[in-house]
Amino acid sequence: MSKSHIHIFDTTLRDGEQVPGCKLNTAQKIIIAEQLDLLGVDVIEAGFPISSPGDYASVSAVSEIVKNATVCGLTRAVEKDIEVAASALKDARKPRIHTGIGTSDSHIKHKFKSNREEILERVYKAVKYAKSFVEDVEFYAEDAGRTDNEYLARVCEEAIRAGATVLNIPDTTGYCLPNEYGAKIKYLKENVKGIEKAILSCHCHNDLGLATANSIEGVIQGARQIECTINGIGERAGNTALEEVVMILKQHPYLDLETNINTKLLYETSQMVSNNMGIYTQPNKAIVGSNAFAHSSGIHQDGVIKNRETYEIIDPHEVGVTESAIVLTARSGRAALAYRARKVGYELTKLQLDEVYTNFLKFADKKKEIEDNDIHQIIETSTVFSQIASA
Ligand code: KIV
Ligand code: ZN
């Protein structure tokens, strides 16, 4: 049986760019869009064209240069937004308008001062209007995570009746637990009339640290698109991290779900986004953090030197990281020191290692991390130095 394709919808340039102080200019957006296209994402959400002239210009420019991916522009369920998005997307090879409205009772009452029936009408009208410009229309039900499932199913039916090709079910506030979010997707798959005409999309925020888990549960329960950003950046605690969902699906082949992502480009894409946005990636960030393939405790180092798989579930080459790092600290053991010494040119016998290791521990207690130049110094100041052979 062939695997089901999970569409990767990257929103680094739209939801990701909502990180305070991380505004990208058009030139930067073009560079990142080209990289995302190379990475193999299915959809690039390039911006929110009506929000500013700069965003309009960026969506137009990205539309012109992207070769493979669908290019998408965000709108509210407002005619003017939709017209402006259609105009910004006019040069895209594969344009998509992403329109929608809040559907939770809280959004309906406080944001729109409206009622459920009026919102259903606005859903239909917005999708229908967007369809008059482009074939591919995605509808989002903002705050779907806190929208009751029966009403959400009616909202989806209206969007499908008007021609939506994708139904985005955002957990806008990052509130849902994985089993709740998965149950929502399952409910919609089983209860929305005409659901076979559209695909369901997961758009999860990370307020409780559950964005990745919720998206994975969503696709297990039948969604076929994940909306995500590089490094998980985004408003507040961010969005689902692209590199995480892609590697989860790759490392768990029995799920029979696959993406089109060239995972070898993940690390360089992460660095590119982080540099352009001026926002550094936490060292312990899964897949792309500087410590994701670094081992510092003696027991782990000994295991990894004997066989990488003892403490690594991903080959670093698979994500574009050149090699696992054996970091030397006061917690490191002899195996790690011998390994790093060999890398800088010394082959130590067991006896030589004993003496050099004692020297090393004195050094390491004073310094957080031992670098290559420290290794030279430690070895060259040991009494056995003259007997040590080159590696
Ligand atoms: O989180 C959200 O609900 C959104 C929508 C605008 C798609 O980003
Ligand atoms: Zn969002």
Q: Which residue from 79, 31, 9 is spatially nearest to 261, judged by alpha carbons?
A: 9
Averaged pLDDT, 289-313: 95
The CA–CA distances, whole Å, from 20 to 23, 166, 235 equal 8, 29, 7
The DSSP letter of residue 241 is B
Residue by residue, DSSP assigns 355-380 as: HHHHHHHHHHHHSSSB-HHHHHHHHH
Question: Could you report the per-residue pLDDT of 24-43, keeping only the tens digit for each?
Answer: 999 999 999 999 999 999 99
Average pLDDT over the chain, rounded to whole? 97
Q: Is the CB of 15 under 6 A from ligand 1?
A: yes
Q: Is 175 in contact with 145 (CB distance < 8 Å)?
A: yes
Domains of the chain: 4-277 (3.20.20.70), 294-390 (no CATH)
Question: Could you report the per-residue pLDDT of 107-133, keeping only the tens digit for each?
Answer: 999 999 999 999 999 999 999 999 999
Q: Measured on CA atoms in the order 78, 198, 68, 140, is the torsion positive or negative?
A: positive
Residue 1: pLDDT over 90? no
Q: Is 161 in contact with 128 (CB distance < 8 Å)?
A: no
The label of the residue with tokens 């002239």 reads 53
Three-state DSSP state, 42: coil
For residue 170, report the distance from its CA to the centre of ligand 2, in Å: 7
Q: For the whole model, what pTM was predicted?
A: 0.96
Neighbours of 308 (CB within 10 A): 16
Question: Could you report the per-residue pLDDT of 290-299, keeping only the tens digit for each?
Answer: 999 999 999 9
Averaged pLDDT, 93-115: 98
Averaged pLDDT, 313-327: 96
Task: Give alpha helix (H) positions in the chain.
Answer: 26-39, 53-65, 79-88, 105-106, 116-131, 149-161, 178-191, 211-220, 242-251, 266-277, 298-306, 334-343, 350-366, 372-380
Q: Is the CB of 201 under 6 A from ligand 1?
A: no
Atom of ligand 1 nearest to the CA of 227: 7
List the structure tokens of 369.
């991390």
For residue 328, report the distance from its CA to the centre of ligand 1, in Å: 44
For residue 18, report the distance from its CA to the centre of ligand 1, in Å: 11
Percent pLDDT > 70 in the chain is: 100
* pLDDT at position 298: 94
Question: Could you report the per-residue pLDDT of 216-235, keeping only the tens digit for each?
Answer: 999 999 999 999 999 999 99
Distance, CA of 288 to CA of 118 (rounded, Å): 45
CA atoms lying within 13 Å on the CB side of residue 129: 21
Three-state DSSP state, 284: coil
Q: Whose CA is nearest to atom 8 of ligand 1?
A: 15
Residue by residue, DSSP assigns 188-240 as: HHHHSTTGGGSEEEEEEB-TTS-HHHHHHHHHHTT--EEEEBGGG--STT-B-
* pLDDT at position 225: 98
Task: Calculate Rg over the CA atoms of the chain.
Answer: 25
